Amino acid sequence: MMGNDGSTRGNLPAYAAPLLVLAGVAAMTIAAAFTAPLGARPMLIAAELALAAPALVALALPRWRPALALRPVRPSVIALALASGAALWVASLGLMELQYTVWTPPPGYLQEFQRLHDVLRPRGALDAVLSVIAIAVAPGICEELLFRGLVLDALSSRLRTAAAVLLSAVLFGVIHLDPSSSGATLYRVPFAIAVGVGFALLRLRSGSLFPAMLAHALVNATTFAAALQEPVTATLPAPRPWLGLGLLVGGAAAFAWLLSRLRSTPALPSRAAFDSL
């Protein structure tokens, strides 16, 4: 619902947001450690399910359940969500290209990223299904339940909508810290914050979490498919700033246009929440 200051009033207290993230990350770390011997795909799926554990608990609690915004949407909204995911992927690719121009990744970082995707490279039909679940479906569902479900709702109880969107995206970015030879690196964090803002806008504009889930899964699946086409090499490619700028501007413009086409169902108040931005 809306507060007098124009902010969205959530169902959870604001202080719950960082606690939910800490609980999810702790559960994710433990699950990954226990399931690592089973292989990359089971480990990634188990880790994502553990990350979403606070949201899964919320499903069983009537007081918390509305925070997840699991409302059905029309087929036209599904189509717009998928198109928005494609636009976000293009924009995020441009952002990464521009970032690469001014910020070289740590030694071996890109190679490790490529090797992870190579481990997930399908060798058969079952491999393909499990890889898509591990890299796209599980993150799309589980991360959205936590960050654009519970966390965004909790932050909205105290903050104006724009601030809640940004802070939820920053918390989402934090879980994208990656290990490197020199320690944890922030290299993927700007990308995660940018797409996190986009997913939050989809959730608010539609009044449902499902469009954000679809867009998130599409971004991850497209990234995975693109990474499989890149050979593992120790040589860093040359920067392409103009290509990056074009992709960023074009993808962002397409996303903004698609967002303007999105409409909430009459029973949902989230359109007003979005308009307060």
Given this model, what pLDDT does residue 132 score?
Answer: 95
The pLDDT confidence band at residue 267, using thresholds 50, 70 and 90, is very low
pLDDT surpassing 60 at residue 228? yes
- Alpha-carbon torsion angle 10, 12, 16, 20, nearest 10: -90
* pLDDT tens-digit readout, 160-175: 999 999 999 999 999 9
Residue 159 belongs to a domain: yes
The pLDDT confidence band at residue 12, using thresholds 50, 70 and 90, is confident
Domain range for 221 is 16-275
Residue 1 belongs to a domain: no
**Mean predicted confidence (pLDDT) in 5-13:** 57
Residue 11 belongs to a domain: no
> Which one-letter amino acid corresponds to residue 5?
D
Check if the beta carbon of residue 123 is closer than 8 Å to that of residue 30: no
Residue 249 belongs to a domain: yes
**Mean predicted confidence (pLDDT) in 212-239:** 86
Residue 238 belongs to a domain: yes
Residue 7 belongs to a domain: no
Helix axes 109-119, 210-228, angle to 10 degrees: 100
- Report the number of secondary-structure helices (H) and strands (E) in the chain: 13, 2
Residues 243 and 98: their CA atoms lie apart, in Å, by: 8
pTM: 0.90
Given this model, what pLDDT does residue 184 score?
Answer: 78
Residues 33 and 35: their CA atoms lie apart, in Å, by: 6
DSSP letter (8 states) at residue 70: -
148 to 91, 166, 199, 211: CA distances (angstroms): 20, 11, 7, 11
Name residues whose C-beta falls within 8 Å of residue 4's C-beta, 6 or more positions apart in sequence.
none
Long-range contacts of 179-185 (CB under 8 A, 24+ apart): 180/105, 180/106, 180/107, 180/108, 180/109, 180/112, 181/106, 181/107, 181/108, 182/106, 182/107, 185/105, 185/106, 185/109
Of 27 and 106, the structure prediction assigns the larger pLDDT to: 27
Of 157 and 4, the structure prediction assigns the larger pLDDT to: 157
Residue 136 belongs to a domain: yes
Given this model, what pLDDT does residue 237 score?
Answer: 82
Given this model, what pLDDT does residue 263 score?
Answer: 67
Number of neighbouring beta carbons within 10 Å of residue 101: 16
Residues 194 and 276: their CA atoms lie apart, in Å, by: 20
* pLDDT tens-digit readout, 31-65: 999 999 999 999 999 999 999 998 888 888 888 88
Name residues whose C-beta falls within 8 Å of residue 95's C-beta, 6 or more positions apart in sequence.
190, 191, 194, 244, 248
pLDDT surpassing 60 at residue 265? no
Q: Tell me whether residue 60 is exposed, middle or buried, using C-beta atoms within 10 angstroms of its C-beta: 0 to 12, 13 to 18, 19 or more.
A: exposed
Least confident range of 96-110, 174-188, 218-232:
174-188
Number of structural domains in the chain: 1
Residue 181 belongs to a domain: yes
The residue assigned the tokens 């654009």 is: 148
Percentage of the chain with pLDDT > 90? 63
pLDDT surpassing 70 at residue 201? yes
Name residues whose C-beta falls within 8 Å of residue 164's C-beta, 6 or more positions apart in sequence.
7, 8, 10, 152, 155, 156
The pLDDT confidence band at residue 234, using thresholds 50, 70 and 90, is low
User: Coil, strand or helix: which one is 178?
Assistant: strand
Given this model, what pLDDT does residue 276 score?
Answer: 44
**Mean predicted confidence (pLDDT) in 164-193:** 89
**Mean predicted confidence (pLDDT) in 5-22:** 74
Mean pLDDT of the chain: 87
